[in-house]
Amino acid sequence: MRSRFTAHVAGDEAYLHRTYLPTASTPYVASAKPEVASAWTRLVVHAHEAGKNPATAYVDFSAYHLEGESEGALHEKSEFVQRNGEWIFARPIRQGPAPIKAQPKVGRNDPCPCGSGRKFKHCCLGRTG
- 34-75 pLDDT per residue, tens: 666 678 999 999 999 999 999 999 999 999 999 888 898 999
Arithmetic mean of pLDDT, 2-9: 91
The C-alpha atoms of residue 129 and residue 127 are separated, in whole angstroms, by: 6
Residue 129 pLDDT exceeds 50: no
Domain 2-97 has CATH 3.10.450.50: yes
How far apart CA 59 and CA 103 sit, in angstroms, is 25
Cβ pair 19, 9 in contact under 8 A: no
Reported pTM: 0.69
Please give the distance of CA 77 from its chain centroid, rounded to a whole number.
2
